[in-house]
Structure 1
Amino acid sequence: MLLWQLLGLVGSLMLCKGQKNGVGELCDDFTDLDFHECFLGTTLNVKLLLYTKSNLRCGREVNHHHLSYQPLFNFSLPTAFVIHGYRPTGAPPVWVDHIVQLLSEQEDMNILVVDWNRGAANLNYFTAVANTRQAANNLTGFILSMQEEGAPLSSIHLIGVSLGAHLAGFVGANLKGKIGRITGLDPAGPMFTGATAEERLDPSDAMFVDVLHTDMNSFGLRGQHGHIDYYANGGSDQPGCPKTIFSGKSYFVCDHQRSVFLYLCALNRTCSLTAYPCSSYSDFLDGRCLQCEAFKPAPCPMLGYNISRWRDTLLRLGQTKAYFTTTATLPYQKTSYRVDMVTWNQYLRWGVVILRLHSGRNFSEARIDRKRLKFEQYTSTRLLVQFDEDLQPIQKISLRIASGNMIGPRYKIRLLHIRLTPLDQPDSPLMCRYDIIMEENIEVAFRPLPCDPRL
């Protein structure tokens, strides 16, 4: 059901083989192979399907050698290439039509789906890896032909998924890094771990390279490979994905595929996925990287198509790591607060924080239990607290510090002040409360007050 929600009206966009468009012309289709063809192995063939605003529902195959005879191709417009990855079953990717539709909504452009299914569809993964170089050479020749027709290399954007991300990198390297942008969606890890920059996607392959990681501990590639690398939920183990092998195929592919669905959601603008530049995921979760000072007056970087607000800063900073967390389902985004607390308790206590936001009868809970926190006399604690729901207006806040102390007296903890700063809506008012006496393991509720600017 979730997949169907994400793909929206994909069914209305997809045309069966040989189906005609509204004016009676036959549409060209993405290659659909049978499993036995993958089992026997396929020989590389690269097919380019062109989509523009005038033929969004009917791809037209482009002749590699006669571009001047392509009336739909406007060489003065930007061009986005969509490059799929390894296809062990030979079936077309389920997301192709949807990404075409969403890209067309960003700006007026040519969209080329790079269909190298014959070459990517092999049970032998090593054969598909070897084919990326030849496919890249084919695509390089086509882009050079585009350049001869007046298309500037800076107007070209390659979007590569998994193995397709490295294929895009090889194209960029062939063109001396002069193409405008490469977006890598969870670049493939197997056969590329430990590879040199020349053997994989890297920042020198384009004028700007952005990479999204979702499965670094399995099918994805660890490390930094772009001018900005986004790490969703730390870059591996995505929420909602199966944790045991008994879930079948989904156990193997869910984390890896999440990169595509997060990107689709960001293109659709239903996901506002803000990422925070930080040296590590641990520091991000500890609330140490929430200011984005280097990007001001622009906000923190966001995943998606339009990166113009951050591009110059990122190019100046060099390679940047940025982290964000998501929910398990659409629209994926969490509501984030920076929480600052100052405690003044007589005895040293250790515990985890459980915070609830209440609006009417509804509430949303966040449990900060990644590690036990230290509470002692005049201890200042900063936390990143994220909720699955954005409840408004906030009428009540409840807080519990769980120490795990099951026997003996409950020690009191004095909270000199607590301040909640909304990160997703910086213009929203801060919420504070002052001088609260609470007991460990006991929830205390209070109404938020306007914050004293002197504190």
Structure 2
Amino acid sequence: MLKLCFFICLIYWVKSDDEKKCPEFTDLNIGNALSGTELQVQLLLYTRENQDCSERLIEHNVTASKYLNTTKKIVFVIHGFRPTGSPPAWLGDMKNLLLASEDINLIIVDWNRGATTVNYLTAVENCRKVAEILKNYIDQMLVHGASLDSMYMIGVSLGAHIAGFVGQKYNGKVGRITGLDPAGPSFTHEPPERRLDHTDAQFVDIIHSDTDALGFKRPLGTIDFYPNGGMDQPGCPKTLFGGIEYFKCDHQRSVFLFLSSLKRKCDIITYPCESYLDYKRGKCVDCDAFQPMSCPVLVYNYLLAITTWNKNIRRGFIKVKITDFAGNTIESKMNSEATTFQQYKRVKILTGFYQDIEKISKISLTFSTKSLIGPKHKLRILQMNLKSLNNPERLQLCRYDFVLVENVELTFKPIPCSERRGATT
């Protein structure tokens, strides 16, 4: 009797210990890759409350989560092809740096079963399936208070295209997608709906680091970065004698550059340029007469939404300046295409700054058709809305009922969009 009791107690103790174990990213090996794996997806949630022990989200009952807070920003990290089956080497740093930089819901999308295979085409086929599964989770989050505006997807290689497929399912209303060297093979010649595209989110930024091999060469995002021309990264092996690093080093560099950008003491300066050849010829290093802040360390993007009531269609450009309470003013550096303004139709314009202002006291707008002849036109605006895409939790700023005279800068004090419409001054 005593032996039986001991055996039962031992079984119970082992089971209790196992239940308390933290869910982990699926760890496979080359044997799994050779035999192939069936697609399985698990979502591992980390927050500042459970930074060292993930919580596995339940597919059909997301709200059972203890830590998920749908009022906060939700960040998804999606890995790519895993020919050896091991967890990504960068995963721990990604988790720690993202949680250190912001109080968010961080969700690691683990589709290692499905990405681990020697047959790359099998992993490619699984991408849309992963996107469909993610949509099931996100739909539940939206029902319980989450916002597409505050969703941010970071995709690596194939994971970048998965993020794009998810964005397509929500008609590009997801707040932001970052593509870290989006995969080129099987996607290079595909149309926008069959790969990541700049229309898949409100803001899409891309780092291209291996455009001559595993990455995607052409621009895909709202803004595209090509470190060192997008290929042959410093420190990476140049020959096959470098072993496995020869194949993956350039491709992975996009991830490590992104991680570096999350570190407060690591500023990566970029230079706006028509081509890498022009940069190497010294045509893009002056930074507007050597003013340091004119070379972007990071582009801070805002979405400007405008509704006009002109009876006639107007087509032109909007230049934006923002000013803080100390009087510091910065001007948009992104050259957008001409926008067509139609009566009562809301248009969205992406505008970016190479510095950021946390508290905006004034906004200045200038409308221009860039026409050298003819009368000055007016743009009659019913509503203007300015929203930070890098920091979607900030208050959106609005202004109502004002007129922009062509080539005449108008400066005004905005009001939070949550407040009732007030009188203009």
Q: For the superposition of Structure 1 and Structure 2, which TM-score range results when normalised by the shorter chain?
A: 0.5 to 0.7
Displacement of 1:105 in angstroms is: 1.5
TM-score, normalized by length of structure 1? 0.62
* Residue among 172, 187, 198 paired with 2:182: 187
- Corresponding residue for 2:66? 71
Asked whether the equivalents of residues 227 and 315 of structure 1 are also in contact (C-alpha less than 8 Å), the reply is no
Of residues 118, 123, 126, the one that matches 2:121 is 126
Distance in 2 between the 1:230 and 1:50 partners? 29
CA separation of 1:300/1:20 partners in 2, compared to 1, >3 Å: closer, same or farther? Answer: farther
Question: In structure 1, what is the Cα distance between the partners aligned to 2:265 and 2:17?
Answer: 32
How big is the shift at 1:314? 7.1
For residues 292 and 220 of structure 1, what CA distance do their matches in structure 2 show?
29
Match of 1:308 among 290, 293, 300: 300
From the superposition, tell whether residues 297 and 276 of structure 1 become closer, same or farther in structure 2 (CA, over 3 Å): closer
Tell me if 1:155 matches 2:147: no
User: Greater CA deviation, 93-102 or 282-291?
Assistant: 282-291
**Structure 1 residue 266 displacement after superposition:** 1.3
Aligned position for 2:257: 262
Give the aligned length. 297
Residue in 1 aligned with 2:170?
A: 175
Correspondence for 2:240 = 245
**1:83, 1:297 → 2: CA distance?**
35
SS in 2 for 1:182: strand
Contact 1:38-1:121 at 8 Å conserved across structures: yes
Taking the aligned partners of 2:98 and 2:67, their CA distance within structure 1 comes to 17
Q: Which of 85, 92, 96 is the equivalent residue of 1:90?
A: 85
Contact 1:19 1:27 in 2 (8 A): no
- Aligned partner of 2:382 in structure 1 is none
Q: CA shift at 1:298, angstroms?
A: 6.5
Gaps in structure 1 of 5+ consecutive residues: 1-17, 321-455
Query: What root-mean-square deviation, in Å, do the aligned CA atoms of Structure 1 and Structure 2 show?
Result: 2.6
In the alignment, is the contact (CA less than 8 A) between 1:20 and 1:27 conserved in 2? no
Q: Report the CA distance between 1:26 and its aligned residue.
A: 2.1
- 2:302 & 2:231 partners in 1: Cα distance? 25
> Residue deviations 1:229-257, cap 9 Å, x none?
00010000001111111111111111111
1:65–1:107 distance in 2 versus 1, CA, 3 Å: same
- Note the C-alpha offset of 1:145: 1.2
The farther-off stretch of 109-118 and 242-251 is 242-251
- Does structure 2 conserve the Cα–Cα contact (< 8 Å) formed by 1:298 and 1:310? no
Contact 2:26–2:110 at 8 Å: present in 1 too?
yes
- CA distance 1:260–1:42, change in 2 (3 Å): same
1:37 Cα shift? Answer: 1.6
Q: 2:136 aligns with which of 141, 146, 152?
A: 141
Runs of 4 or more above 4 Å deviation:
18-21, 309-316
8 Å CA contact 2:161–2:195 kept in 1: the answer is: yes
Choose which of 189, 202, 207 in structure 1 pairs with 2:197. 202
Amino acid at match of 2:336: L
Q: Which residue is 1:317 aligned to?
A: 336
- In 1, Cα distance between equivalents of 2:216 and 2:163: 15
Q: Give the distance between the partners of 2:152 and 2:16, measured in 1 at CA.
A: 29
Tell me, yes or no, if structure 1 residue 287 matches structure 2 residue 282.
yes
After TM superposition, the structure 1 stretch with the greater mean CA deviation from structure 2, 233-242 or 262-271, is: 262-271
Q: In 2, Cα distance between the equivalents of 1:181 and 1:46?
A: 22
Q: 1:160 to 1:66 in 2, by over 3 A?
A: same
Cα distance in structure 2, aligned partners of 1:212 and 1:92: 22
Cα drift, residue 291 of structure 1: 5.5
| Contact 2:152/2:175 (8 A) holds in 1 | yes
Residue 88 of structure 1, CA deviation: 0.5
Partner of 2:415: none
Equivalent pairs: percent with the same residue?
Answer: 48
SS of alignment partner, residue 152 of structure 2: strand
- The offset of 1:310, in angstroms, is 6.8
CA distance in 2, matches of 1:53, 1:280: 41
Amino acid corresponding to residue 205 of structure 2 in structure 1: D
